[in-house]
């Protein structure tokens, strides 16, 4: 018997009525309810680690970018100490935004309203007309800095949280870290962001794209049919459902709600179908088919930065798509080009809530820092062609999500449910090394259901 | 006009908008100006009427078609707000053909298709050093109606083009689309600008 949730909305609806654990269903009402949205801001977005960018965006002391932790606008800056600091972009004096630009370099951030000034690390410097003590007669300047978030860099990715005493970043990642490291911590100099993110808004709740980022593999066959028609993935347009390209592999996830789909590259993409892997060593396999974004020259670095087992996985069944709870999608994919080449596309999205019915899609595109310039150029194009604003894959996602949102509003349709009843159940494949919840075979609903369970846990917490 | 692509996200990579660069203006109402204006109108009609093959036929094989992202900047850098290291579109002829081919199959983003009106105004034309090539700068206002929504999506942009005369017609050889929004209000760019 599952313990009842203590979370009850004003009209008497319990969290258990919305996230129905007995039958693995989620009420569509979760997408529109304003009370629930406000609770999510407090219980999820003010509590978990959130992605804000990459340190390659702010290489010099004083460099800053302005980003959003849900609806809280923050300054992400490199301080005098060389560290990355994240501070709330709200002047503690009268509530104005201190920094109005999106990016730049400043040693002093001065509010344009009354002139209170702050250092890149958020510390208060002073208010104009120092002798008049306009910051307060008996107020210690040390207490007047911008509100600071806790920061963690992971493979150069900038994460922050308001939960100063909460779980460490590694605790937040949990068992999925073993697999994430294969994407983000595999080379000596790491990833580079290829430019500031694409940003655009969609008229839907953040959880519509959010639950998909819990490794919804199945939608690819139908929504992204054009990948098969275009010959990008194995199989032909006529045999999509027979061959089900890209559906078989090992889905991994963990109780924190993160997940990754590990796919055998040779079976996923038509262009690699003739690459014979049988009887080959890890190094030989990598030479034949390096993971997306990796050059032959970087292969020795994989062995320096990862364990032998992790490299072996990268060589045979690399993690390619997935997500980090609550709002990050990961796509580190093989991306064949129209000119016949392939150097992969490395993309992360943050789905930033902007109200119950609006989400900002922030699309970060990467390459390995040590990749040759032409490869970076190719990867940027690959990523733009496939993901984000104009990406031929994600155009179609952006078409579906707002329609689901419309459907969540009707008096009757709001009580319809999202169903996660095609379950495999945890099963450790033979010879598998990593930990976590493992789902080998055809991709099913397990990882997405784990996403909702992670949501339930945070929402249920007092 | 230059299209330099630097691979970096650092803020010092921003550039200014620039607009029309050519010093040799083609006057309003002149024969060449009128023919280029007519070409822009024909192009907008081809796209609005979803005659995608007709549009592809207007492109030069060496086309570069890009939409850099726009940033909000302040202070001494306030005009350096075009980030030509990251794009909403970053296309060549083959990729545009690939996109047009997709539109004719299972591209759910445009099936059902959006109903678009492209309003093209403020057209300024200059000669380039290469004979037969013209720099054409225009404003674009795109209204896009989707599904049963009574609210149109829309966007505004400046387009910095190079059109090249080939066999008595003009072919689009360069297009840089300078969008005005740093955060797009349109849910995707499944339509061309």
Which residues on A lie below 8 Å from B12 (Cβ)? 105
Which of A57, A100, A198 shows the shortest C-beta gap to B9?
Answer: A57
* Judgement on whether residues A264 and A370 belong to the same structural domain of the protein: yes
Angle at B156 between CA B151 and CA B157, to 5 degrees: 155
* Residue A2 pLDDT: 83
CB atoms within 10 A of CB B167: 5
Furthest-apart CA atoms within chain B: distance in Å: 48
Identify whether residues A236 and A111 lie together within a single domain. Answer: no
Q: Which of B13, B90, B190 lies nearest to residue A395, judging by beta carbons?
A: B190
| Per-residue pLDDT at A211 | 98
In chain B, which residues have their Cβ closer than 8 Å to the Cβ of A197?
Answer: 86
**Beta-carbon separation of A199 and B183 below 8 A:** yes
pLDDT at B6: 43
Give the pLDDT confidence of A86-109 residue by residue, as tens digits.
999 999 999 999 999 999 999 999
Q: Residues 163-202, chain A: which have Cβ within 8 Å of B? A: 192-202
Which chain B residues are within 8 Å of A367, Cβ to Cβ? 7
Among A162, A185, A220, where does a domain finish?
A: A162
Asked if B88 and A198 come within 8 Å (Cβ–Cβ), the reply is yes
The beta-carbon contacts of B87-90 under 8 Å, at least 24 apart in sequence, are: B87/A195, B87/A380, B87/A384, B88/A198, B88/A384, B88/A388, B88/A389, B88/A390, B88/B177, B88/B179, B88/B184, B88/B189, B89/A384, B89/A389, B89/A390, B89/B65, B89/B177, B89/B189, B89/B193, B90/A380, B90/A381, B90/A384, B90/A385, B90/B66
Count how many domains chain A has: 2
pLDDT at A246 over 60: yes
CB distance from A341 to chain B under 8 Å? Answer: no
Segment B89-116 mean pLDDT: 94
Does A8 map to a domain? no
pLDDT band of residue A44 (cuts 50, 70, 90) is: very high
Maximum distance among all Cα pairs of chain A, rounded to whole angstroms: 79
Positive or negative, the CA dihedral A128, A130, A135, A140 is positive
Q: Are A307 and A445 contained in the same domain?
A: yes
Kindly state whether residues A192 and A132 are assigned to the same domain. no
CATH of the domain spanning B40-179, picked from 3.90.180.10, 3.10.450.50, 3.40.50.10860, 3.30.110.30 = 3.10.450.50
pLDDT recorded at residue A269? 59
> Residue B98 and residue A230: Cβ atoms within 8 Å?
yes
Average pLDDT on B142-166 reads: 96
Residues A125 and A227 in one domain: no
Task: Answer whether A380 touches B (CB < 8 Å).
Answer: yes
Would you say residue A225 lies in a domain? yes
Look at residue A413 and tell me if it is in a domain.
yes
In this predicted structure, what is the pLDDT of residue B16?
83
pLDDT tens string A426-436: 999 999 999 99
Residue A245's CB is within 10 A of a number of other CB atoms, namely 22
Confidence (pLDDT) at B15: 81
Predicted ipTM of the assembly: 0.94
Q: How many whole angstroms from its chain centre is CA A300?
A: 28
The pLDDT tens digits of the residues spanning B4-62 come to: 444 456 766 778 888 899 999 999 999 999 999 999 999 999 999 999 999 999 999 99
CB contacts, 8 Å: A198 with chain B: 69, 86, 88
A374 inside 8 A of chain B by CB = no
pLDDT at position B132, please? 97
Lowest mean pLDDT among A186-190, A272-276, B176-180: A272-276
Give a yes or no: residue A31 inside a domain: no
Q: Is residue A155 part of a domain?
A: yes
Q: Which candidate in B4, B7, B84, B190 is best for mutational testing of the A interface (most A CBs within 10 A)?
A: B7
State whether A97 and A183 are in the same domain: no
Task: Note whether residue A11 is domain-resident.
Answer: no
Do A71 and A152 fall within a single domain? yes
Is A172 strand, coil or helix?
helix
Q: What is the CATH number of the domain that holds A210?
A: 3.90.380.10
Q: Which two tokens stand for residue A289?
A: 């088919």
Chain A residues with CB-CB distance to B183 below 8 A: 199-201, 360
- pLDDT single digits (tens) A315-369: 989 999 999 999 999 999 988 776 766 779 999 999 999 999 999 999 999 999 9
A27 within domain boundaries: no
State which residue of chain A sits closest to B10, comparing Cα positions: A57
Task: Output the pLDDT for position A402.
Answer: 95
pLDDT of residue A280: 86
B112 touches chain A (CB under 8 A): no
Q: Are A56 and B90 in contact (CB < 8 Å)?
A: no
Has residue A428 been placed in a domain?
A: yes
**Is the same domain home to A235 and A92?**
no
Segment among A139-143, A221-225, B7-11 with least mean pLDDT:
B7-11
pLDDT of A230 reads 79
A308 lies in the same domain as A366:
yes
Selecting from B13, B74, B107 the residue whose C-beta is nearest the C-beta of A226 gives: B107
pLDDT (average), residues A273-302: 87
Query: Mind listing the pLDDT tens digit for each residue in A398-447?
Result: 999 999 999 999 999 999 999 999 999 999 999 999 999 999 999 999 99
Cα B36 to Cα A438: distance, rounded to the nearest angstrom: 61
CB-nearest partner of B77 from A104, A201, A203: A104
Share of chain A above pLDDT 70, in %: 96
CA distance A235 to B115: 33
Please tell me the predicted confidence (pLDDT) of residue A363: 98
Q: Is B7 within 8 Å of A103 when comparing Cβ atoms?
A: no
Cβ within 8 Å, pair B89-A59: no
3-state secondary structure A89-121: CCCCCCCCCCCCCCEEECCCEECCCCCCEECCC
Residues of A with Cβ-Cβ distance to B64 under 8 angstroms: none
Q: Are residues A157 and A119 in the same domain?
A: yes
Say which CATH number the domain at A101 has. 2.102.10.10
Which residues have C-beta within 8 Å of that of residue A313, sequence separation ≥ 6?
Answer: A179, A182, A262, A319, A433, A434
State chain B's mean pLDDT as an integer.
92
B-chain residues near A398 (CB < 8 A): 109, 187-188, 190
Same domain, A351 and A275: yes
Question: A77 is in which domain, residue-wise?
Answer: 50-162
Where are chain B's structural domains? 40-179
How many beta-carbon pairs under 8 angstroms link A with B?
162
Q: Which residue of A has its CA nearest to B193?
A: A390
A104 → chain B, closest CA residue: B11
Q: What is the pLDDT confidence band of residue B1, given thresholds at 50, 70 and 90?
A: very low
Across all residues in chain A, what is the average pLDDT? 94
**Closest chain A C-alpha to B42 CA, distance in angstroms:** 24
Place of tokens 């490794």: A215
Least confident range of A127-131, A193-197, A276-280, B10-14: B10-14
Which pLDDT value is given to residue A340?
A: 67
A93 plus A135 within the same structural domain: yes
- Residue listed under structure tokens 């839907």: A204
pLDDT tens readout for residues A251-278: 999 999 999 999 986 666 555 656 677 7
- Bigger pLDDT: A244 or A339? A244
Distance from CA of A403 to the nearest CA of B (A): 9
In this complex, is the C-beta atom of A435 within 8 Å of any C-beta atom belonging to chain B?
no
């Amino acid at each position: 018997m599952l313990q009842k949730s203590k979370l009850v909305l004003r009209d008497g609806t319990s969290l258990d009525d919305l996230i129905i654990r007995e039958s693995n269903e989620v009420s569509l009402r979760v997408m529109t309810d304003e009370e629930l949205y406000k609770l999510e801001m407090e219980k999820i977005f003010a509590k978990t680690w959130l992605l804000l960018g990459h340190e390659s965006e702010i290489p010099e002391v004083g460099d800053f970018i302005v980003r959003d932790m849900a609806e809280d606008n923050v300054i992400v800056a490199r301080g005098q100490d060389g560290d990355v600091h994240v501070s709330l972009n709200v002047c503690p004096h009268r509530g104005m935004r201190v920094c109005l630009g999106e990016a730049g370099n400043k040693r002093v951030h001065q509010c344009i309203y009354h002139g209170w000034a702050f250092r890149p690390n958020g510390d208060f410097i002073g208010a104009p007309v120092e002798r008049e003590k306009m910051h307060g007669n008996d107020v210690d300047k040390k207490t007047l800095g911008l509100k600071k978030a806790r920061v963690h860099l992971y493979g150069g990715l900038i994460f922050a949280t308001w939960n100063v005493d909460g779980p460490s970043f590694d605790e937040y990642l949990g068992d999925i870290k073993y697999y994430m490291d294969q994407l983000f911590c595999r080379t000596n100099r790491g990833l580079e962001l290829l430019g500031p993110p694409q940003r655009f808004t969609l008229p839907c709740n953040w959880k519509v794209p959010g639950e998909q980022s819990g490794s919804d593999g199945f939608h690819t066959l139908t929504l992204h049919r054009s990948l098969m028609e275009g010959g990008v993935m194995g199989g032909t347009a006529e045999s999509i459902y027979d061959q089900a390209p890209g559906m078989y592999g090992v889905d991994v996830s963990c109780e924190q709600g993160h997940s990754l789909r590990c796919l055998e590259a040779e079976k996923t993409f038509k262009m690699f179908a003739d690459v014979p892997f049988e009887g080959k060593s890890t190094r030989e396999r990598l030479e034949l088919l390096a993971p997306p974004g990796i050059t032959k020259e970087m292969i020795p670095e994989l062995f320096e930065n990862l364990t032998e087992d992790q490299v072996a996985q990268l060589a045979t069944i690399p993690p390619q798509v997935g997500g980090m709870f609550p709002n990050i999608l990961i796509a580190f994919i093989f991306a064949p080009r129209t000119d016949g080449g392939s150097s992969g596309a490395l993309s992360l999205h943050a789905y930033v809530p902007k109200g119950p019915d609006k989400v900002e899609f922030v699309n970060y595109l990467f390459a390995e820092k040590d990749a040759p310039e032409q490869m970076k150029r190719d990867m940027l194009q690959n990523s733009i062609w496939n993901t984000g604003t104009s990406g031929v894959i994600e155009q179609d996602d952006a078409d579906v999500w707002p329609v689901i949102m419309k459907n969540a509003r009707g008096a009757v349709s709001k009580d319809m449910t999202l169903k996660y009843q095609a379950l495999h159940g945890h099963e450790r494949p033979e010879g598998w090394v990593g930990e976590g919840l493992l789902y080998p075979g055809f991709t099913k609903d397990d990882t997405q259901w784990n996403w909702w369970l992670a949501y339930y846990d945070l929402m249920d917490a007092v | 006009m230059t299209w330099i692509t630097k691979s970096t996200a650092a803020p010092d990579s921003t550039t200014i908008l620039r607009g029309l660069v050519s010093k040799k203006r083609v006057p309003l109402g002149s024969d060449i100006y009128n023919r280029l204006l007519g070409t822009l109108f024909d192009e907008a009609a081809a796209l609005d009427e979803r005659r995608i093959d007709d549009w592809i036929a207007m492109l030069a094989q060496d086309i570069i078609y890009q939409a850099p992202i726009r940033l909000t900047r302040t202070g001494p850098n306030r005009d350096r707000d075009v980030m030509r290291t990251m794009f909403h579109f970053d296309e060549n002829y083959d990729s545009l053909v690939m996109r047009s081919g997709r539109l004719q199959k299972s591209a759910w983003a445009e099936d059902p298709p959006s109903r678009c009106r492209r309003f093209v105004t403020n057209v300024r034309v200059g000669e380039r050093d290469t004979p037969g090539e013209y720099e054409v700068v225009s404003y674009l206002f795109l209204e896009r109606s989707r599904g049963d929504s009574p609210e149109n999506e829309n966007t505004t942009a400046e387009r910095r083009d190079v059109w090249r005369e080939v066999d008595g017609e003009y072919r689009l050889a360069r297009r840089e689309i300078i969008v005005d929004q740093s955060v797009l209000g349109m849910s995707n760019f499944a339509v061309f600008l």
